[in-house]
Structures are given as C-alpha cells and as structure tokens.
Homo-oligomer: A and B are copies of this chain.
Amino acid sequence: MPMETNGKITGAEAVIRTAAAAGIDVCFANPGTTELYLVEALDRCPEIRSVLAVFEGVCTGAADGYARISGKPGLALLHLGPGFANGIANLHNARKAKSPVISLVGDHASWHIAANAPLTSDINTLARPMSVWVHTSTAADTASADMTEAIAQATRLPGGPATLILPGEVQWDTTGQAITRPIFPLPAAPEAGEIERAARALHANSASTAIVLGGSGLRTRGLRAVERIARATGCRVLAPTFPAVQDRGAGLIAPDKIPYAPEPARQVLAPYSTVILAGASEPVAFFGYPNSRSGLCAEGAEIFHLCRATADPASALAALADALSAPAERDVPGAPRPEPPRGALNPLAMCQAVAAAQHEDTIVMDEGATSGFAYYGASAGAPRFTYMALTGGSIGQGLPCAVGAAAAEPGKRVLNLEGDGSSLYTIQALWTAAREKQNLTTVICKNRAYSILRWELERAHITPGAASLAMTGLDRPFFDFVKLAEGFGVEGRAAHTAEELNEALHASLRTPGPMLIEANLE
C-alpha cells in the first residue's frame, strides 16, 4: 500500500524515504557532487543516520557488516564509477556472503554522459560482476519503485548486493508519486521431497553423512535444529571455512570448521560418502593448484542441497529434525574456555587471549588470516557471541565490516581480529570508528609479512629470491599501527607479551569507544 507524501519531493528524497520505510537506519556514505541531492535528502530524513567514511571500501564493507548483524539491508552511498570501483572489493565479499548490500550511485545527468566529462564511465558494466541486480533509474516518478525493487532483489534468498544508479535529473527532478512500501520476499517453503531425501540418507548411513551449514543454518535457530539431528543420527556437522555470520559459544553446538588448506580439508571430509549442504556451497579448494582438483569432498561422494537456494536453511533443518523424529532442542555442554595466556605472544597465545577476554554478546570479526587460525577453536567455549569471517578472500573486509556491525549494534562490543597486511587495504575505517565513538576493539596480528604468500610459495616449491622475499615482507620499514590509529583519532596500544595483550583487551572491553591493539607476534 503506497504511503502518501505531502506534496512534491525530489527523486533523491523518494529513494531515501523508501529506504527508511524498509527500516534501514544507517547510510554509509562517501558522496561527491553527483550525490548532493541524495545528501540533501538525508538531511530531510533523520530516520537514517549518515555515517561518513573517507574511502568507499569502508562504506561497502560496513554496509555488509550492518546487513549481517541487523538482518536489514545495508546502504552505501558512492560517487559515480570511480567511487563505486573503490567499493567493489568489499562488494565481492558481500556477494559471497549473500549480504543484501544496496549501493546508491549518483551518475551525471543522462544528457551529460555523451560529453565524456572526466568522471564519466560505464558504471553499469562495473557493477554487474558483484551485483545480483543493477538498474539505472530513468525518472524521479519511478525512483521509489526502483528502490523497492532493489530491496526486494537484495533480500530475496539467496540474496546479495544490488546496485541502483541514479542520474542527476532523477535525483533533482520532483515527483508527486507516493513512496512505494518495501517488500521483503518470504523464503520459499522447504519441499517435502527435499527433506525426505536428506532423511533417507541419514537413515541409511548417518555415520558416513556430513551436514555442512551455511546462511541461517549457522544462526541459533539452525544450530539448535541441526543439534537435534546430530543427536538423533550421529551425523557429522561442519561449518564452512569462512562463514558470513555464525552464532557461537556456550550452549550451542560447535561445528568444526572445514580447514583452509586442501589436504587437511580433504582429510576431514574423506569419511563422508554423503554431504548435505544446508545453506552452504559445495566445499572447494580456495585456489586451483597444479595436478590437483577443485572439490574437497571424497571422490564419488553424493553431494546435494537440503533445500533450494530460495528457501531458508534453518527452517529446512527444523523440518528435517521433525521428519527424523529427533528429540527436543537443548543446550549442549560448554566447550572448555582458555585461561588468559602468559609469556610469549605467539599466534596461539593471541587467539587464546581474545577468546579468554571476550564478554557475552560480543560480535567478533575474524580477519586474522594465518595468525588467527587458532581463534575459532579457542573460542568454542566463550560466552554466547556472533562470529563473522572474511567470505570472499578479498582482504580488507575486517575493519569496515566491524564498523558496520558496531553501527548496527551500538550497545554491543565489536572485536576485530585483523591481519597486519589485511588491515592496510581499508585502514581508513579507523577514522569512522573514532568519529562514531564505536565500541570497537581492533587487534592487529602483527607478524610483519604476507605470511599466507610465504606459505603458498613453499607449497608451490618455489625458493623465494630477492623479489619474492621483498614482495611478501612488511618489514622495510615496519608499520607503526599505534601511530596510524592515533592519526585516525583512535587510541592505540602496543602489546609485546601475552600479559600486555590481556591487559590491553581488559582495558578496551571496559572502556567505551574504539581502541587498536598492536599485537606484536613472535
């Protein structure tokens, strides 16, 4: 049912009011001249808080984090093709996370395109690879309907980024059209045949069946349902290597992650002749290696989806548990929790320190890369928390995603485990955290190298020469992350021992506002 507006508004305002009507309450923005009418519309629409970033990769990554944590679409405001381009890497991660990120991109007035002014480019083509939907609005009268469609396309399962391009005249022309009320498409219902197929497989041979979770299968509802299934059948439950968002900690089933490296991943999956994908994609190697194959499941394994991509995996898991007559939901006994470590600050100690320090209801963004590999296991027994990982391998997601999560949940603490190399792609996010006084603790895993590359050189049996060593080292000169933090307005501390890290974490988790802790790893 359309909502009436009082008289005429600009097309830009129609778009922003439609976003507000969808419950979106934050816009992550780095606007330019071609977005000024959208900026003016944000002035007129105080229901949406404008959060400024000084680099567009922060905007799209933050919109992704906001969407993962709030369950609502995340909104990014970007400046023409180049501004959109700077946001693409984190839209790639959002696409792999199936996050409903909506990018609003101002373009020149349509009659100005042919002049080929300096900032003119083909935004539509740029947007296609990382968007589930791209549209260029043609009139102020249809701008609200276009935004409604963007929201529907982004949130219809499986979901993903949508890009709405708004030429100048669409923004500044006025319209008397009513705001279209946004629609959030309902998931498809799980089909009886799908559930029966999974139930038959589990009946036939549950010990050689694994369920890999994804999407809502990793949230409390899905985890509680899959715990019933595992208890009833003894099947294995696995999490993907890089979940978009996962509820974790005390009381919840703690599925093991599929390891990052292909050999241990194949070992984990080898026993399973049946692999049921509950919202997950088929497990594949991160990279294609010479004389290797892409798949990680046992050769000849039967691999199938529990439900269609348009259905809700948590509901499908609940239906499967019922079909199996599984027992009722319960809290599972907690995993042990590490003590705060002492002595040398190595990657394991760093992971234990974070897992030991985190409070209930923390949101953890894990882009710790090689240094953070031990964190997932170490944190299984932590108080209930929400966990996010780097979904598309495009490093530089962590800080922005954490900023977006903090904007979605200002009352919670966000803890970001961040590789030193990874942090540098979007380090500008620190300023937004300072500006917004976010409760955001960033732990920089400072190992002074692109360690993953040195590890992959070894895998490829390449003996690194001068260029290889130079191009994988972050040690000439060293980065001073405390100064970088302070330069962006965030308090910084350096930790060289486990005790110093424990103390810095303790201080940050009890102090409102952001802090960066440089964990100098041995």
Q: Which A residues contact B (CB, under 8 angstroms)? A: 29, 31-34, 36-37, 39-40, 42-44, 46, 50, 52, 54-55, 57, 81-83, 85-86, 88-89, 92-93, 96, 108-109, 111-112, 114-119, 121-123, 125-126, 128-130, 168-169, 172, 242, 281-282, 284-290, 294-295, 391-394, 396, 421, 424-425, 427-428, 431, 434-435, 452-453, 456-457, 460, 462, 464-468, 470-471, 473-474, 476-484, 486-489
The CA of A477 and the CA of B482, in the complex, are separated in Å by 16
Question: Apart from A52-B470, A81-B129, A484-B487, what 6 extra A-B contacts exist at CB < 8 Å?
Answer: A33-B286, A36-B456, A82-B93, A115-B288, A480-B486, A482-B487
13 contacts across the A-B interface (CB closer than 8 A): A31-B453, A34-B287, A82-B88, A82-B89, A82-B93, A82-B393, A86-B89, A109-B288, A117-B287, A118-B391, A168-B288, A168-B290, A481-B487
Indicate which residue in B112, B288, B483 contacts A483 across the interface (CB closer than 8 Å): B483
Do B471 and A39 have beta carbons less than 8 Å apart? yes
Given the complex, which residues of B lie within 8 Å of A286, measured CB to CB?
Answer: 33, 117-119
Identify which of B44, B115, B118, B169 contacts A242 (C-beta below 8 A). B118
Query: Contacts A39-B468, A424-B54 known; A112 to B288 CB distance under 8 Å?
Result: yes
Known contacts A39-B471, A284-B116, A477-B434; A54/B421 CB under 8 A: yes
Provide the residues of chain B in CB contact with A122, threshold 8 Å: 128-129
Pick from B295, B462, B466: contact of A36, CB under 8 Å: B462
Interchain CB contact under 8 A, B129 and A471: no
Contact B462 A489 (CB under 8 A): no
**B residues near A172, Cβ cutoff 8 Å:** 290
Give A486 Cβ to nearest chain B Cβ, in Å: 5
A453 contacts B36, C-beta separation under 8 Å: yes
Identical copies of this chain, number:
2
Q: How far is the CA of A446 from the CA of B479 in the complex (A)?
A: 23
The answer to whether A115 touches B54 (Cβ under 8 A) is: no
| Complex-state Cα separation, A486 to B466, whole angstroms | 26
| Chain B residues in 8 Å Cβ range of A111 | 288, 294
Cross-chain contact A477 with B118 (CB below 8 angstroms): no
Q: Which residues of B contact A474 (CB under 8 A)?
A: 54
Contact B483 A486 (CB under 8 A): yes
Residue from the set A33, A242, A473 with the largest chain B CB neighbour count within 10 Å: A33
Among A114, A285, A483, max chain B CB count under 10 A is at A483
Q: Are A118 and B96 in contact, with the CB atoms below 8 A?
A: yes
Contact (A33, B453) CB under 8 Å given A290-B169, A471-B50? yes
Which chain B residue lies CB-closest to A32? Answer: B453
Asked if A477 meets B489 with Cβ closer than 8 Å, knowing A122-B129, A126-B129, the reply is yes
A121 and B129 within 8 A (CB): yes
Query: A125: shortest Cβ distance to chain B, in Å?
Result: 5
Contact A294 B483 (CB under 8 A): no
CA distance A488 to B126 in the complex (A): 31
- Whole-angstrom CA separation of A172 from B457 in the bound complex: 13
- Chain B residues, Cβ within 8 Å of A421: 54
Assuming the contacts A471-B39, A471-B50, asked whether A92 and B85 have C-beta atoms less than 8 A apart, the reply is yes
User: What 8 A-B pairs are tightest by C-beta distance, nearest first?
Assistant: A112-B288, A43-B465, A477-B489, A82-B394, A484-B487, A115-B294, A85-B88, A109-B288
Across the interface, which residues of B come within 8 angstroms of A434, CB to CB? 477
On chain B, the residues within 8 Å of A52 by CB distance are 470-471, 473
Instruction: Provide the residues of chain B in CB contact with A29, threshold 8 Å.
Output: 471
Docked Cα-Cα span, A85 to B68, in Å, equals 23
Chain B residues lying within 8 Å of A39, measured Cβ to Cβ, are 457, 462, 467-468, 471
| A294 contacts across to B, CB distance below 8 A | 111-112, 114-115, 117
| A466–B287 CA distance with the chains assembled, in angstroms | 47
B428→A119 contact, CB < 8 A: no
Residue of B33, B168, B290, B457 near A452 (CB, 8 A) is: B33
Closest chain B residue, CB of each to CB of A27: B467
Q: Which residues of B sit under 8 angstroms from A428, Cβ to Cβ? A: 424-425, 427
The distance in angstroms between the C-alpha atoms of A396 and B46, with both chains bound, is: 31
**Of B169, B453, B488, the contact of A479 (CB 8 Å cutoff):** B488
Tell me the smallest distance from the CB of A192 to a CB of chain B, in Å.
29
Point out the residues of chain B lying under 8 angstroms from A31, CB to CB: 453, 471
Q: Kindly state the separation between the CA atoms of A466 and B431 in the bound complex, as whole angstroms.
A: 19
Q: How far is the CB of A126 from chain B (nearest CB, A)?
A: 5
A82–B488 contact, CB under 8 A? no
User: Chain B CB within 10 Å — which of A34, A118, A282, A424 has the most?
Assistant: A118
- What residues of B have a CB within 8 angstroms of the CB of A96 in the complex? 118
Q: Is the CB of A285 within 8 A of B117?
A: yes
Query: Given the known A-B contacts A92-B82, A128-B125, A487-B479, are A54 and B118 also in contact in the complex, defined by CB atoms under 8 Å?
Result: no
Known: A82-B92, A242-B118. Is A480-B471 also a contact (CB below 8 A)? no
